[in-house]
Chain A
Amino acid sequence: MDWLSALPTFLGIYLAIGLVFAVIFVTLGLSVVDHDAKGASVRVRLLFLPASMALWPILIVTLLTRAIGGKNQ
């Protein structure tokens, strides 16, 4: 099964993009989506890293929605 052997490559690429996004998100993006996260400690930011890595497409949509919403206000 070709798709089966392609799965780890796909997962690897997905998570690699996720890792890059997650580092940027937990460093700069947290307070954009949630004001309560402003000034969050390094430990809290590290705690949010795995989920940011896994859910990066959803978070990109959230960030874009907030950015567009913010401009329109």
Chain B
Amino acid sequence: MGVGYQVVQWNKHKKIYDGLLLGGVVLYLVGFIVIGSVIFAKENPVQVPILLMRAFGSCAFIMLTMILMIGPLARLNDKFLPLLYNRRHFGVLTFIIGLLHALVATVWYHFFSDVNPFLSIFTTNNQITNLQAFPFELFGILALLILFVMAATSHDFWLKNLSAPFWKTLHMFVYVAYGALVMHIALGYLQSESSVVVPILVAASFGLVILLHLMAGFKDARESATNIKSGAGWIAVAAVGDIPESRAHTVNVADGERIAVFKYDGKISAISAVCAHQNGPLDEGKIIDGCVTCPWHGYQYDPANGQSPPPYTEKIHTYKVKLEGDMILVDPKPLPPGTPVEPARIGSE
């Protein structure tokens, strides 16, 4: 928590997540190669490098599609939140699989020419004004470069030192990478294959990603609108009994802000639901040793003042909170990060 850096801050959850991720990727690749070699051998024998290329390429596309689906799915249904917690490693592995696809393709198509293979990629086909013969490899290279920068900066050091807004903007380029990948596949198939199965699957994946983002956006907007009262006064959050002990209830307010209202030790406190470390979902965390603990990396905050316990220095916004009978009310106006707020005492009225 702000003191020293490690290659990976491992915890049990991350190890399980990475184990399942790696297992899934290996299973997919082996399955693709085995089944693919049987299917293709019947009609049109495919050489091993091409099979490998397709296995890695399709795997990377599926992984990137899943990465883009996880965010909106978690906003639509809490059950998907565990998938969100270690998406960083998912992204790095996607880049590695994409890189393997690119390496096999480069070796197979360009390594045995007289020209430098990397120069050959750019010079073999320069018909960029002809859609039927467009060098679709360029879209793949663009996607791979973006995924590289994202993977290389997937560490707390870069989040902190490039600044959170810049880092987030940089990582929003994942959508450009996805679009480029769709174009890479679509144009590649247009030029070399007559089957429409893969283009239809790619278009369906693309459509699904857009649909999920729209659904999540509408849900957030609806919740925000419901929670905004005229005059920006107190918001009725939930009944005390609705919040489990040491857990939070989430409130979506204007401008996309999320407040986590925690119940603990006979008290109620409200803090920002966004961790100062990596925007982790504090509202999905619980109170451990008296501190709200982020489920992503274990960053902790005192619920009464939004400050990390010493020697750590992270601070988040706090919110005024009060009780009217059994109903918890929160003032949606954020107080400066680290501002102490007297918790509402349950049963004190």
Interface residues of A (CB under 8 A from B): 1, 4-5, 7-8, 30, 33-34, 36-37, 39-41, 43-44, 47-48, 50-51, 54-55, 58, 62
Contact = CB atoms under 8 A, between A and B. Distances in A.
Given A5-B119, A8-B118, A37 B162 contact: no
Interface residues of B, number: 26
A50 B119 CA distance: 22
Contact of A54 (B118, B152, B161): B152
Interface of B: 2-7, 116, 118-119, 121-123, 126, 128, 135, 148-149, 151-153, 155, 157-158, 160-162
A55 B162 CA distance: 10
Contacts of A55: 149, 153, 162
Given A34-B157, A36-B5, A43-B7, A4 B122 contact: yes
B89 to A, nearest CB: 13
Given A37-B157, A40-B4, A48-B155, A58 B149 contact: no
Contacts of B160: 34, 36
A56 to B, nearest CB: 12
A41 B151 CA distance: 20
A5 B162 CA distance: 32
A30 B158 CA distance: 11
A51 B2 contact: no
B174 to A, nearest CB: 16
Nearest to B154: A51
Contacts of B149: 51, 54-55
A54 B149 CA distance: 7
Contacts of B161: 33-34, 62
Contacts of B135: 4
